[in-house]
């Protein structure tokens, strides 16, 4: 990274725009392998309750505005 910065800085100062480049970053593969309990927590702790909480909130807001 710093090597590219210095090289590109000198190329810019020399007004040689053809030499300015960004070297590609190496990609690393990341795999997620959650355990059964973590999958269950995600599903029953986030996926199911979140829409229910949003629905209840929307109904409460609608009811308060309707009766205001």
Q: pTM for this structure?
A: 0.47
Residue 3 has pLDDT above 90, yes or no: no
CA–CA distance, 28 with 49 (Å, rounded to integer): 34
Q: What is the pLDDT of residues 7-51, one digit of tens each?
A: 777 777 777 767 666 677 788 888 888 899 888 988 898 899 999
Confidence band for 63, pLDDT divided at 50, 70 and 90: very high
Q: Give the Cα-Cα-Cα angle 19, 24, 26 (nearest 5 degrees).
A: 155
Residue 61 has pLDDT above 90, yes or no: yes
Q: Where are the domains of the chain?
A: 2-25+34-66
DSSP per-residue string spanning 21-53: --PPPPP--------HHHHHHHIIIIITHHHHH
Output the pLDDT for position 68. 76
DSSP per-residue string spanning 8-24: HHHHHHTT-GGG---PP
């Amino acid at each position: 990274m710093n090597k590219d910065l210095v090289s590109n800085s000198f190329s810019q100062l020399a007004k040689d725009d053809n030499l300015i480049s960004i070297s590609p970053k190496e990609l690393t593969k990341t795999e997620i392998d959650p355990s059964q309990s973590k999958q269950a927590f995600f599903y029953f702790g986030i996926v199911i309750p979140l829409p229910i909480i949003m629905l209840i909130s929307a109904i409460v807001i609608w009811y308060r505005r309707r009766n205001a």
